[in-house]
Every structure is written in C-alpha cells, then in structure tokens.
Amino acid sequence: MGAVMVVINSGNDIEWRRRTTKKQIGIWLGWLVGISIVLFAWSVISEKTVWFFVQDAPRQAADIGSRMIPPKWSYITELLVPVWDTINIATLGTIIAMTIAVPVAFCAARNTTPHNSVRAIALFIIVSSRSVNSLIWALMLVFILGPGVLAGTIAIGLRSIGFCAKLLYESIEEIDESQVEAVKATGASNIQQMTYGILPQVLPTIAGVGIYRWDINIRESTILGLVGAGGIGLQLNGSINTLAWTQVSTILLVILVTVFISEWVSAKVRGAII
Amino acid sequence: MSSLSDNRERHYPTVWDKPPFISNSLLRWGIILGAIIYLVAAIASMEINPQRLMEGIPRGQRFIASFFPPNFADNRGVVWDGILESIWMAIISTVAGIALSVPIGLGAARNLAPFWVYITCRSIIAGSRTFPEIILAIFAVKLFGFGPFAGFIALSLGTIGFFAKLLAEDIENSSESQAEAVKATGANWFQWINYAIQPQVMPRMIGLSVYRLDINFRESAVVGIVGGGGIGATLNTAFSRYEFDTAAAILLIIILIVMVLEYASSYLRKWVQ
C-alpha cells in the first residue's frame, strides 16, 4: 500500500512523501475516530465503576492472597474424581463435536457442498455454535438435562462444532483439485471420490483440529461446574462461595497442571501426526 | 528359498486394500483397545440417568418452545444497555490488552530478549492462557466489585495470553536479514524494532486484533454470569427470571453481532494484506 512514494512538485522543489495528502488526512481521521471511540468506551465503563472498590483492590488482593497460602494439599484426594470428569467432558465432547463437524464442514465447503442452500444452513450452524459460549450452552442444558457431567459434555460438543467445522471447511476448500480429478477419471463414484480424493488430503487437518480443540476443551470444561455442569468447576465454585481460599488455590494449581499436561500431550500427538 | 517365493506368489493379493494407518499391528490394536476401554470407563462414569433423561425430554421441549417467539420488546431497555456495555467493554479491553501485550510479546520473543526476560514473559503468557476468562473474572469481581470494570480487567488479562503469544511467535518467525540490514545502518533498539520488526508483523497483528475484539465480545457475554457486567449479566438475569423469550432474543442478537464482526474482520484482514 505505502510502497509507492508520492512526488509533489511545488515550484522548483521536488518533495518526496510517503503518502498523498488525502491519504495522510484519512489516516489521521482514522486515528481520531478510533481514539474517540476508546475514550468514550472508557468513560462509559468508568461511570459504572465504584472507584472505592477499585482503590481497595490491592488490599483485597493481598488479603485473599495471604489466605490462599499455603494450598491445602490434603484436598487433592477429593479432586481426583472431578479431574477425571473434566477430562471426560473434554474428550467425549470433542468426539461428539468432530462426528458432527466433519459432515457439516463438507456441506459448508464450496467445492463439496451438495447445494448452495445446504451450504447456507451449514454456515448458520457453524456461526451459531461459535457465537454461543460453552458456559451458556451448559446453562441451557442444565435446565433440560439436569445438572451433571452429561450436560457439560453436550455443551462442550455443541460449542466445538462451529470451531472444528470452520477450520475443516476452510482446509477442504484449499485442497488440490487435480487429485480429485484423477480419482474421478478412474470412474470413481461421488463417494469414492470423497474417500480417496478428498479425505486423504484433509485427514491430517481433521486429526490436528480435533486434538487442538481437545486441548482448548480441557480448559473450557474446568469452568462448566460454575453452572452445575460437572467437572472441577463445581469444587471451585463451592470453595469460592464458602471462602475456603486454601482449597481454591489447590484447585487452581490442579487446573494449571492439568492444562499443562494436556497442552504437552496435544503438542506431542500433533507433532506425530502432521 | 524357492518355496518362499512360491508362497509369496500364491498369496499375492488380487484385491487392493488400504494400507493401515499404523503399520505395527500390535501398536494399532493396542491403541484401539485402549481407546475402547477408556470410552467405556468414561461413559460409565457419566452417571447417565435414563429416568432423568426421559423426564428431560418433555421439559426440553417446553424449554425450547418457550424460546419462541423471541421477545425483542425489551421493555426495561436492559437488553440494549447490556449490548452496548458489552461492546464498550470488548473495545476497551482489546485496546488495553494489546497495549499490555506488546511489551510482553517483545519480551517473549527468543530472538529479541535475554533469557530471564524471556522466561518471565513466557510465564505471564502461560498463566494468562491457562485460566479461562471466567476464572479471571471471578477474581476480578472479588477484587474490584460487581460491574463492567471487573469484566474489563478479566478480558484484558485474557487478551495478553492470546495476543502476546502470537506476537512473540510472529517475531520469532520474522526474517533475520531485514533485522540485520536495519541494524547495520546504526539504528538504536527502538528504531530497530520500529523499522525492522514492526512492518513484518503488523499486517497479521491488525487481523488478530480484530479477531480478538470478536472473541472479547463473545467472552463478555459470559463474564456477566459471574458478575462482570455486559450482556452476560442481562442474559443471566433473563434465565433466572425464566424469561426465555428475552434470552432467545439476546442470544440471536449476540449471534448477529458476532456474524457482523466476523465479516468485518475477514474484510479488514484482506484489505490489510
């Protein structure tokens, strides 16, 4: 964009500039508008803030911090089952999501969709699943299914469909068409073209996306307990509500370790597949 | 020898089979068996209660039915207020988060920073990435009181983990030769960053900041559940008051805004690159 320099002839002098005057003014206006929006946003937020509480925050932080130390290590034995539940929510949720996301992605990709109207529906599924946070999905599912791990699993599944399907359909759209054509030239049916022409090309992406999402889901499933959908969030919420700060710090440490391990596993497996 | 080759000839396959994904059959069956055992154990520990599920079916039908038609009437004006608050919260936390992310991202790039700075910044990023925005929001609400300020703090901290990490990775992948060329002109450290590194990472960072704005808006819809203000607070109130038609309207508005943001961000990214 800014690659071509502008030459301005003013009398005898030739002046080199990076941008035309018009463009320069445009950029300044852009900054002006941007900064005004941010300042306005700040004024709205600060109007709704009780500054006394904010000034009090460092003292509060020191207070809570001192109550959190040392973590109550004996509590860990009670956390093993919640951690197992959390991992199950993430894993089964990812499996549900991938089972639905793969066909949705094939319907959403321009080159494999059966019809444009199907594509529109698939895209709507993707957007609505992505827009609604897993916590909100869980909130609704707890109403329907009752509190428990099942609601959390389905919430994670519903939330992940959009993410997985979006990444998949983008990679389906980028496949090498000549391979599909070669398979077609052997007289393969539509389904055979799919399994031998397209699927091998996107299989690494499918596996990679699934594992990537699993890693994210471990993190997301740690909070689902806040609305009663199972996992370690249930203990976290309970401990915070009863002001058992030494338990809270233990739970946070357990979450930290779980997330680190899942990240390590995900990186290893992705490295092995791709 | 000859019998072996005979044998091989006789068993030469006439039908093509797909080669197995994992060639070591012991490992293959081991993984399959392990996966099955895990799945059985995991599903068994779900405590699926069929009776409760059967009860849930009519309840779910009534629940979904009560979503329709979505009620956009918004008599108390709370939906509109909540949406606006979420938008402002998303904007300002994105800006503040990015402002905090730039120094941390520079520090977390292995090719710019000395080792101890690198380790410090990487641990900040790891900490911010590990805990979901909701947990950050719970603590922010404890510290700063109810309201959008707590949500703003939580989202800003969440932005660091995302933005600083990607910035650091982008800087680590940037071209060495440009950096060296600028250094050879005698540029000081700030000039070096500004003229050698910044132009290389800028287009991607603009795209990512719009993407993060999109994420922050979506997250602002949930930090309200724990008291962090925004549309999440309104949504939570609607759920607790069993005003499901209003909740449906809120969800539809969120979906619509996210769609608009997504189109805007993809358009902007194309325009920048």
Phi-psi region of B180 (alpha: psi -120 to 50; beta: other; left: phi over 0): alpha
- Each residue's pLDDT tens digit, A261-273: 888 888 888 787 7
The domain B81-272 having CATH identifier 1.10.357.10: the answer here is no
**Cβ of A31 under 8 Å from any chain B Cβ?**
no
Mean pLDDT value of segment B61-79 = 75
For chains A and B, count residue pairs whose Cβ atoms are closer than 8 Å: 140
The per-residue DSSP string of B30-68 comes to HHHHHHHHHHHHHHHTT---HHHHHHHHHHHHHHHHTT-
Q: Answer whether B260's CB lies under 8 Å from B116's CB.
A: no
Query: And the tokens for A79?
Result: 């956390």
Residue A19: how many CB atoms within 10 A of its CB? 15
In the predicted model, what is the mean pLDDT of chain A? 84
ipTM for the complex? 0.77
> Is residue A163 over pLDDT 50?
yes
pLDDT at A161: 92
> Is residue B2 over pLDDT 50?
no
Mean pLDDT value of segment B191-216 = 83
| A78 shares its domain with A58 | no
Assess if residue A67 is contained within a domain.
no
Q: Give B-chain residues touching A99 at CB under 8 angstroms.
A: none
pLDDT at A2: 46
Q: How far is CA B163 from the centre of its chain?
A: 11
pLDDT at A44: 82
**Residue of A38, A53, A92 lying closest to B144 (CB–CB):** A53
CB contact under 8 A, A48 and B88: no
**CA-CA-CA-CA torsion for A219, A221, A227, A229, nearest 10 degrees?**
-170
| A119 shares its domain with A172 | yes
**Residue of B91, B149, B259 lying closest to A38 (CB–CB):** B91
| A262 shares its domain with A169 | yes
Q: Give B-chain residues touching A130 at CB under 8 angstroms.
A: 218, 258
Mean pLDDT value of segment A220-248 = 85
What is the Cα Rg of chain A in Å?
Answer: 26
Query: And the tokens for B239?
Result: 């759920």
| A210 shares its domain with A122 | yes
Residue at a domain's end among A62, A82, A100:
A62
Q: Answer whether A218's CB lies under 8 Å from A262's CB.
A: yes
pLDDT at A95: 92
Assess if residue A1 is contained within a domain.
no
Nearest chain A alpha carbon to B137: A223
Give me the residues of A, 164-223, that contact B with CB < 8 A: 219-220, 222-223
Sign of CA dihedral B80, B217, A60, A75: positive
pLDDT at B6: 53
Specify burial of residue A94 (Cβ count, 10 A radius: 0-12, 13-18, 19+).
buried
**Cβ of B144 under 8 Å from any chain A Cβ?**
yes
CA distance A146 to B57: 11
Phi and psi (nearest 5°) for A8? Answer: -115, 125
| A147 shares its domain with A219 | yes
Distance from CA of B168 to the nearest CA of A (A): 18
Assess if residue A122 is contained within a domain.
yes
Mean pLDDT value of segment A113-139 = 85
Residue at a domain's end among A62, A85, A102:
A62
User: Which residues 6+ apart lie within 8 Å of B81 measured at CB?
Assistant: B234
What's the length of chain B?
273
> Is residue A52 over pLDDT 80?
no
| Residue whose C-alpha is closest to residue B129's, from B112, B104, B106, B103 | B104
Entry pTM: 0.79
pLDDT at A94: 92
| A171 shares its domain with A255 | yes
Specify burial of residue B104 (Cβ count, 10 A radius: 0-12, 13-18, 19+).
buried
| A157 shares its domain with A228 | yes
| A51 shares its domain with A78 | no
**Residue of B92, B138, B239 lying closest to A38 (CB–CB):** B92
CA distance B210 to B202: 13
**Cβ of B30 under 8 Å from any chain A Cβ?**
no
**CA-CA-CA-CA torsion for B197, B199, B204, B209, nearest 10 degrees?**
90
| A225 shares its domain with A104 | yes
Q: Answer whether B183's CB lies under 8 Å from B111's CB.
A: no
CA dist A187 to A19, A64, A199, B47, Å? Answer: 57, 70, 17, 49
At residue B1 the predicted structure's pLDDT band, cuts being 50, 70 and 90, is very low
Place of tokens 């005698």: B186
Residue type, A215: D
pLDDT at B98: 92
In this structure, of A57-71, A174-188, B114-128, the range with the lowest mean pLDDT score is A57-71
At residue B199 the predicted structure's pLDDT band, cuts being 50, 70 and 90, is confident
CB contact under 8 A, B259 and A259: no
pLDDT at B7: 53
pLDDT at A4: 61
**Cβ of A269 under 8 Å from any chain B Cβ?**
no
| A21 shares its domain with A142 | no
Give me the residues of A, 229-248, that contact B with CB < 8 A: 236, 240
Mean pLDDT value of segment B252-260 = 83
> Is residue A101 over pLDDT 80?
yes
Most confident of B92-96, B106-110, B124-128: B92-96
pLDDT at B273: 62
CB contact under 8 A, A150 and B132: no
**Cβ of A264 under 8 Å from any chain B Cβ?**
no
**Residue of A44, A220, A227 lying closest to B132 (CB–CB):** A220
Mean pLDDT value of segment B12-35 = 79
pLDDT at B11: 67
**Residue of B84, B91, B235 lying closest to A136 (CB–CB):** B235
Q: Which domain holds residue A49?
A: 6-62
pLDDT at A1: 43
Mean pLDDT value of segment B98-111 = 88
**DSSP classification of residue B147:** S
Q: Give B-chain residues touching A139 at CB under 8 angstroms.
A: 225, 236, 239
Mean pLDDT value of segment A88-96 = 91
Q: What is the number of domains present in chain A? A: 2
At residue B8 the predicted structure's pLDDT band, cuts being 50, 70 and 90, is low
Q: Give B-chain residues touching A148 at CB under 8 angstroms.
A: 46-47, 49
Q: Give B-chain residues touching A91 at CB under 8 angstroms.
A: 38, 42
Q: Where do the structural domains in chain B lie, given as residue ranges? A: 81-272
Nearest chain B alpha carbon to A256: B130
Mutate to test the interface with A, among B18, B134, B162 (most CBs of A within 10 A): B134
Mean pLDDT value of segment A186-214 = 86
User: Which residues 6+ apart lie within 8 Å of A194 measured at CB?
Assistant: A106, A112
Mean pLDDT value of segment A22-26 = 84
Q: Give B-chain residues touching A45 at CB under 8 angstroms.
A: 85, 88-89, 92, 148-149, 152
| A54 shares its domain with A175 | no
> Is residue B43 over pLDDT 70?
yes
Question: Can you tell me whether residue B227 is helix, strand or coil?
Answer: coil
| Residue whose C-alpha is closest to residue A259's, from A224, A226, A215 | A215
